[in-house]
Structure 1
Amino acid sequence: MPRIELVTGDLTAERVDAIVNAANSSLLGGGGVDGAIHRAGGPSILAECRELRATVLPDGLPTGRAVATGAGNLHARWVVHTVGPVWPGPGPEEASRRRLLASSYRESLALAAGLGAASVAFPAISAGIYGWPADDAALVALETAAGADAAPALVRFVLFSERMHAVFAAAAEQLGLDLD
């Protein structure tokens, strides 16, 4: 199991091998975490994303999948882009969308490990504009990271507020995880 850390801060300032971007399927930038990563990382990230769209991902990146680019001006070597699901609300789609959220984390972890990353920093995928309830998003994130078959040695969740940090800490306690 990787070492898991929770911190409050700015994901774009992290000094890790890989930073995970909560991207939209176009890979061409957007708001929230995605926009912040593109702004801080500079134009080379967008250029690599455009190349991916022109070659291997002409229809965009599917929900639950992950792809990597260089990190441009960030203090990382790679950006792992993943598309989390939009919260469907309670109902018949909830379980399948939850599996897609877990896949976003699992695929990002495996890709980062495959690149040789010893450390990776995540935002709370889908817990912002995509509307996923924070408590469930935290459970999915932590449970997936703790049970990952392939992951960097250090998995850090960089949370944008003290409130979100508290939600993740409560989820870790509920799952019985001993975090740093």
Structure 2
Amino acid sequence: MNNRVRFLFWGTVTLVVGTSSFILVKLLLAIRERQRQGSCRTLFYRLFTVQVWGVMMHSLVRFAYICSPRLHLQLDRIPGPAWFLLNTLVPFAVFARFLLQVDPVSFRTNEDGYAAIWAPMHVVHSNACQSTIVTVIGSVFSASCYLFVLRQLVRLRQIQDSSATDFRHERSLTVV
């Protein structure tokens, strides 16, 4: 294994995990402070965006796993805790802007005395636009990774002249 490749790979993982950990702690402190002030109480669209980014990360890993033989060997050697840290901490870097905004959504009592969620109309429109944009970007990104993987599988099939059963098995693994 090339030392430069190893350094670049683990350097990138360390940079992402270190930065994400720092941002995570900073965000948790900021959220706690904002909760004392009465904001940052709704997390629905933020969690939805985390889920979409998680799907995009898995698509990128699938693309790298199949399309790059050297990276394939590197990915096999990554310990489970490193994947856990990446999947857990990376979305917090993406949400730095969302989590530090002032959140005007709150709970109020309605006419009947029940607690209800209240949000101004511009916040509702903004949340709808954000979730739509993230869904579209995530879908396009995942679809393009999927197409690149299928293209690479077809190219490998033509080069290696593998059997149709092996190709069908590889293709089904890619879809999963």
Fold agreement, TM-score > 0.5: no
Say which one has the larger Rg. Answer: 2
